[in-house]
Chain A
Amino acid sequence: MLTKRIIPCLDIAGGQTVKGVNFVNIRQAGDPVALGAAYAEQGADELCFLDITATIENRSTFAELVKQIALHVNIPFTVGGGIACEKDVEVLLSAGADKITVNSAAVKNPELINRLALNFGSQCVVLAIDTKFEENEWTVYVHGGRTPTGINTIKWAEEACQRGAGEILLTSMNHDGTKNGFALDITSALSEKLPIPIIASGGAGTCDLFVDVFTKGKADAALAASIFHFGEIPIPKLKQYLKEKKVAVRL
Chain B
Amino acid sequence: MNIVIIKYNAGNIHSVKIALNRLGIEPVVSDDPDVIRTAEKVIFPGVGEASTAMEYLSKNNLTGVIRGLKQPFLGICLGLQLMCAYSEENNTTCLNVFDVQVRKFPPKDKVPHMGWNNITGLSGPLFNKIPDGSFVYFVHSFYAETGPETIATGNYILPFSAGLNKDNFYALQFHPEKSGKTGEQILRNFLAL
A residues bordering B, Cβ < 8 Å?
1-3, 5, 40, 45, 70-72, 74-76, 93-96, 98, 120-124, 166-167, 195-197, 220-221, 250
Q: Is B178's CB under 8 angstroms from A98's CB?
A: yes
Contact of B178 among A2, A71, A75, A94 (CB under 8 A): A75
Complex-state Cα separation, A152 to B175, whole angstroms = 36
With A76-B137, A195-B111: A71-B14 Cβ-Cβ less than 8 Å = no
Interface size on B, residues (CB 8 A): 34
B115–A197 CB distance below 8 A? yes
Output the least CB separation between A34 and chain B (Å). 16
B140: nearest chain-A partner, CB-CB: A123
Question: How far apart sit A70 and B14, CA to CA, in the bound complex (Å)?
Answer: 10
What's the Cα separation between A1 and B113 when bound, in Å?
11
Chain A residues with CB under 8 A of B183: 74
Q: Choose one: A1, A72, A75, A124; the contact of B11 (CB below 8 Å).
A: A124
The B contact surface, by secondary structure, is mixed
Question: Roughly how many angstroms separate A40 CA and B175 CA in the complex, as a whole number?
Answer: 16
Residue among B21, B112, B115 with the highest chain A CB neighbour number at 10 A? B115
Contact B184 A74 (CB under 8 A): yes
Interface residues of B (CB under 8 A from A): 11-12, 14-15, 18-19, 21-22, 47-49, 107, 110-118, 135, 137, 139, 155-156, 175, 177-181, 183-184
Would you give 13 A-B contacts (Cβ < 8 Å), ordered by A? A2-B156, A3-B115, A74-B19, A74-B22, A74-B178, A76-B178, A93-B11, A94-B14, A96-B14, A123-B112, A166-B114, A195-B107, A220-B115
- With both beta carbons as reference points, the residue of chain A lying nearest to B177 in the complex is identified as A74
